[in-house]
Amino acid sequence: MTLRDLEIFCAVCDENNMTAAAEKLYISQSSISQVIANIENEFGVKLFERYSKRLYITESGRILQDYARHVLFSFNEMQDKLRGYGAIKVIHVGASVTIGTNLLPEITKVFSEFQPNVKIAAFVGNSSVVEEKILKNDLDFALVEGNVYSSHIISVPFLDDELVLVCGKSNPLYQKKKIKKEELSNLPYIVREKGSGTRELFDGIMSANEITWEPVWVCSNTEGIKNAVIAGIGVTVISRLLVEKELKNGDLNIIDIENVNFRRKFKMIYHRNKYISEPIRQLMELILKNYKTTGK
């Protein structure tokens, strides 16, 4: 099995289709099929199941995919260094929306002052999308608020975060300091989309407390959620970090909930097979040093 074979295999994984992979790599479909067949024959495994002209990756295929991406990345990095480019000049960092909105710009600024010749290329999306990009080796590491589920990913807590229930001035709850958890069932909620860490925590806490609820608005944009709450459309549960300005100027107000809290830990995640270069290590250490969590 050669590096070219791994490249072809990864293209098939990305496209879920041999014809599309062939077009992407500018080779014939028969060549793609032959490479996949050769790998399967060499190791005595099935990489894909074929049903109704569609490909479904097998567990053996997932194992190969995991290693293939990192072999190809390491090889390309080695080529760059041997050609005289030296250390990595760009670090690809992912962040879920809350962290990308509030913390990542500050982290980038501080690191750029410390390492002006190393650039940070950022991707911001919900936690599930960021996790997928880590698995595909599209990101060097990421900072997320949600849980990660792949056994191939290492997760390190780095900062405590608190979510709060907030409402706008026109909401009757604005003047209240506290409500009972039973009252949560009657509120109109503006929430993040499924796949976000904030939505996952909210769903989990509400379910654990046997609280039924219905969304009036689902939105992937933090500013959109805040504006909708300020306009009186509903309430939301959101990271305190994201509403500090609105709380200070009185556009939003926090309503405490008896015996219910929404707390979590932000996490630094990276693939267990990831080669941690010196610039990446420096950025990771800067984050862990300056944004400390408590406990485990």
**What are the residue ranges spanned by the domains of the chain?**
3-65, 90-159+265-290, 161-264
In angstroms, the CA 181 to CA 256 distance is: 10
| Residues 233/217, Cβ–Cβ less than 8 Å | yes
Encode burial over 215-236: b for 16+ CB neighbours within 10 A, e otherwise: eeeebeebeebbbbbbeebbbb
pLDDT of residue 18: 92
CATH topology agreement for domains 90-159+265-290 and 161-264: yes
pLDDT of residue 296: 45
pLDDT of residue 83: 64
In angstroms, the CA 4 to CA 25 distance is: 11
What is the tens place of the pLDDT at every residue in 165-219?
999 999 999 998 899 999 999 899 999 999 898 999 999 999 999 999 999 999 9
In angstroms, the CA 16 to CA 172 distance is: 52
With CA atoms as reference, report the closest residue to 215 among 171, 184, 259, 170. Answer: 184
Collect the ranges in the chain with pLDDT lower than 70: 80-81, 83-88, 292-296
pLDDT of residue 293: 59
With CA atoms as reference, report the closest residue to 159 among 219, 240, 274, 252. Answer: 240
| Residues 80/259, Cβ–Cβ less than 8 Å | no
φ and ψ at residue 195, rounded to 5 degrees: 105, -15
For the domain bounded by 161-264, which CATH number is listed? 3.40.190.10
Tokens of 176: 């209240």
What is the tens place of the pLDDT at every residue in 39-49?
999 999 999 99
For the domain bounded by 90-159+265-290, which CATH number is listed? 3.40.190.10
Please indicate, yes or no, whether the overall pTM of this predicted structure exceeds 0.75.
no
pLDDT of residue 74: 80
Q: Give the CATH number of domain 3-65; options: 1.10.287.1080, 3.30.70.260, 1.10.10.10, 3.90.105.10.
A: 1.10.10.10
Q: For helices 29-43 and 3-15, give the axis angle rounded to 10 degrees.
A: 110
In this structure, the strands spanning 141-144 and 262-271 are antiparallel
pLDDT of residue 273: 82
Provide the sign of the torsion angle of the four alpha carbons 72, 77, 78, 82, taken in this order. Answer: positive
Q: For residue 270, what is the enclosing H or E element?
A: strand 262-271
